[in-house]
Structure 1
Amino acid sequence: MNNQDVPPKPGSPPPAPAPESVSWSQPQTETEGARRKPVTKKRAFWIALFVVVLLAVIGGLVWLALWLNSGQGAPEAGEETPGVLETTITPPASPLPLPREGVTPAEYALGDCFADFDPEALASKVVPCDAPHSAQLVAVFRYPEDGAYPGAEELKAKALEACQAAKLGPAANEYQLNYQRSFPSDSSWDSGDRRVDCYVTAPGGNVINASVLP
C-alpha cells in the first residue's frame, strides 16, 4: 500500500449567486443580405470593365450613325467633283470698249476688274485693269449643267479651293488684298447659275491699278 499522502479531491465550487433579474431574447438570425458572399475586388473590376466596354460600343455606334447621316450627298474621299476650274485667262474676256456698266454676274469673265465692287450686287462696272478698281476675278469653277444642287457647305469649300488654286502675278504683292468667294444659292442654281467665283479685293476701295494675274 502506498503510504504517500493522497490529497483530498477538490470540492465542488459553491454555486454562483443568482442575478437579481434575468432578461432573455431570441437569438438574432442572419438576414439574407448578410448571408450573401461579399463581392470581391476582382469581380467588381470585371463588372466595371464590362460596363466601360459596353458604353464605348454604344458611343461608337451613335457616332457612326451621325457621321454617315452628315456625309449623305457629299462626295466620297478622293472623289473629284465634276466640273472645270479656270485659273488662266482665255480670251475673250468682257467685250471692249471698257468701262462697261451693268454687267451681270453671269457675264463676268476670268480676269475682269471691277470698280466699286459689291459681290452681292445684281450688276457691276467692269473697267480696264490699269484703271483704278477694287476687285478682280482670279478663279472660276464651273459645275456641270445637269448637276444637282450640292449644298451651301460644298459650294463654300469649292470656292475656297478655287481661291487656293488661283495664280497671282508679281503685282499682287504691291497691294493689300483679300480673297472673296461667291457661289450660287439654291434659287439661282435652279435658274442655271453653275459657277463659283473667287475674287481678290482691296479693302481700301479703288486702289488697284494693275492686273494681279500673271
Structure 2
Amino acid sequence: MDNQEQRPFPPKPAGPPTVGGPQITSPAAAPPTPRMAPPAAPPGAVPDPSLLKRRRRASLLLKALFAVVLVGVVLALVWLANRLDTQPTAPAGDPGSGVVEISPTPPASPRALPQEGVTPQDYRLGDCFKDFDPAALRSTVVACDSPHSAQLVAVFRYPGNDLYPGREALAAKALEACHAAKLAPAAYDYALNFQRAYPSGTSWDSGDRRVDCYVTADAGNVINTSVLP
C-alpha cells in the first residue's frame, strides 16, 4: 500500500464558561502515531548476505539444469546418428521392389546350366532346382526342361532401410507372394505344393530382404517343364 499522509485530529472545543469560575479547556487529544513504511536502502548500501547466497544458489541450479538438458540432447543426437549409420542396407542391385514379382525377366547374361553351389541371394525368379532343399545354403540350378523338384515362382523384396518386421509378418508376406503367383496349365500335371522362404532376424541384419515362394514336388525330380506361363 502507498504511504498516505496522516494528520492529528483537531482539539475538542472548550466547554461553556463557568459562572464565577475560571474557564477551563480540555486538553487536545493526542494524535495517533502514523505507520511509516521502512525506509528504502540508501544508494550504495550492501545487500543482505543471505539474500545474495540464495540468488547465487538459484543461478547455479538453473545453469546446472540447462547443462544436463543440453548433454541429454547431444547424446540423443549421437545415438540417432549411430542408429542411422548402422542400419542394414540392401544388397547391391536389390533396392526393394515393394511389389510381388511373378513374371521373370530374361537375365542380361544367361548363366550356363546346370550350375551348382548357387546361394539363395543369387536365385532368380523362374529358376528351377534339382534336389531342392529350402533350408540349404547352396542349390543346383538346372534348365527347367530337365528333371527338377522345385521352381521359384514369386519374389518380394523389402526396401533396404526397413526394420525387421518380425517372423509372423514375413510369413504372411510370403503367403501373399504364393497367392499372387500365376501358374501355367502344366503345373496341374504334377502334385505340387507351395513352399515359402523368408529371412531370419540374423540374415535380415546381414542384408537379406527377400521373401520367396516356390512350388515343390514331394516325389523328387519329377517336373520336366516350367510351371510359369
Which of these residues, 132, 153, 156, is aligned with residue 147 of structure 2? Answer: 132
**Rg: which structure is higher?**
2
Q: Map of 1:65-104 to 2, 5 A cutoff?
A: 83-92=98-107, 95-104=110-119
The letter for the 1-side match of 2:167 is: A
Long gaps (5+) in structure 2:
1-96
The letter for the 2-side match of 1:195 is: R
The letter for the 2-side match of 1:90 is: T
Q: Return the alpha-carbon distance in structure 2 between the equivalents of residues 148 and 200 of structure 1.
A: 28
Normalised by the length of structure 2, the TM-score is 0.57
Cα displacement (A) at 1:170: 1.0
Query: 3-state SS of the aligned residue for 1:161?
Result: helix
Q: Map of 1:170-189 to 2, 5 A cutoff?
A: 170-189=185-204
Note if 1:156 corresponds to 2:156: no
What does residue 218 of structure 2 align with? 203
Deviation by residue 1:98-126 (Cα, 9 ceiling, x = unmatched)? 00000000000000000000000000000
152-161 or 82-91, larger mean C-alpha shift: 82-91
Count of residues in Structure 1 that have an aligned counterpart in Structure 2: 133
Long gaps (5+) in structure 1:
1-81
Q: Return the alpha-carbon distance in structure 1 between the equivalents of residues 194 and 135 of structure 2.
A: 15
Contact 1:136–1:200 (Cα < 8 Å) also in 2:
yes
Fraction of identical pairs, as percent: 72
Distance of aligned partners of 1:123 and 1:93 in 2 relative to their CA distance in 1, 3 Å threshold:
farther
Note if 1:194 corresponds to 2:187: no
The letter for the 1-side match of 2:102 is: T
Q: What is the root-mean-square deviation of aligned Cα atoms in Å? A: 1.3
Contact 1:112–1:136 (Cα < 8 Å) also in 2:
yes
Q: Return the alpha-carbon distance in structure 2 between the equivalents of residues 170 and 93 of structure 1.
A: 28
Which of these residues, 111, 132, 135, is aligned with residue 120 of structure 1? Answer: 135
The letter for the 1-side match of 2:184 is: G
Cα displacement (A) at 1:94: 8.2
Distance of aligned partners of 1:93 and 1:101 in 2 relative to their CA distance in 1, 3 Å threshold:
farther
Query: 3-state SS of the aligned residue for 1:156?
Result: helix
91-100 or 196-205, larger mean C-alpha shift: 91-100
